[in-house]
């Protein structure tokens, strides 16, 4: 099991179908960083609670709104024009790097928030994805795909 959230997120995101599922959940107003954090907390055996979910949301929402979303919007707005302008394409790549760094920073902040919560990787806990997914994503195939991939990653880690 990955002890840090960043490496857990990288390993999970690299699994087949996870990138597409995350992009679909993002289109449903899901915060991918929160959802990746949910799978990490689940793997660690941290029991979800209303207070813990609220603390994670309170940390993530302003960062997403004020830092990640503006960078993502700029990167997406430059997608077409950058195809015909090499200098703009280079700037777009730098914005993409900043967006990724902003997401990594958010994951580090989420980890710092949750690090002190008691964990028992062998305990049966509630479903963090239910607690942190937006209402419109609950029961959606993309959320189930993320859940299955996270369980597969956890099984692979435990078998190693």
Kindly report, residue by residue over 30-64, the tens digit of the pLDDT.
999 999 999 999 999 999 999 999 999 999 999 99
> Residue 119 — pLDDT band, cuts 50, 70, 90?
confident
For the ranges 77-81, 103-107, 152-156, which has the lowest average pLDDT?
Answer: 152-156
In angstroms, the CA 48 to CA 64 distance is 22
In angstroms, the CA 47 to CA 156 distance is 22
For residue 84, give Cα distances in angstroms to 24, 52, 89, 93.
28, 47, 8, 14
What total number of domains does the chain contain? 1
> Residue 157 — pLDDT band, cuts 50, 70, 90?
confident
User: In the prediction, which pLDDT does 1 show?
Assistant: 55
The mean pLDDT value of the chain amounts to 92
In angstroms, the CA 14 to CA 12 distance is 5
Residue range of the domain that includes 70: 5-159
pLDDT 10s digits, 70-100? 999 999 999 999 999 999 999 999 999 999 9
User: In the prediction, which pLDDT does 68 show?
Assistant: 97
């Amino acid at each position: 099991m990955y002890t840090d959230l960043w490496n857990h997120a990288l390993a999970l995101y690299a699994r087949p179908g996870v990138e597409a599922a995350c992009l679909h959940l993002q289109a449903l107003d899901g915060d991918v960083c929160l959802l990746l954090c949910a799978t990490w907390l689940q793997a660690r055996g941290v029991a979800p609670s209303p207070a813990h979910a609220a603390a994670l949301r309170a940390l993530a929402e302003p960062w997403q709104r004020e830092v990640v979303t503006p960078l993502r919007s700029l990167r997406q707005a430059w997608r077409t024009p950058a195809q015909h302008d090499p200098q703009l394409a280079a700037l777009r790549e730098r914005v993409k790097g900043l967006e990724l760094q902003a997401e990594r920073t958010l994951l580090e902040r989420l980890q710092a928030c949750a690090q002190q919560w008691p964990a028992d990787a062998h305990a049966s806990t509630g479903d963090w994805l239910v607690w942190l997914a937006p209402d419109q994503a609950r029961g959606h195939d993309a959320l189930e795909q993320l859940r299955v991939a996270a369980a597969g990653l956890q099984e692979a880690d435990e078998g190693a």
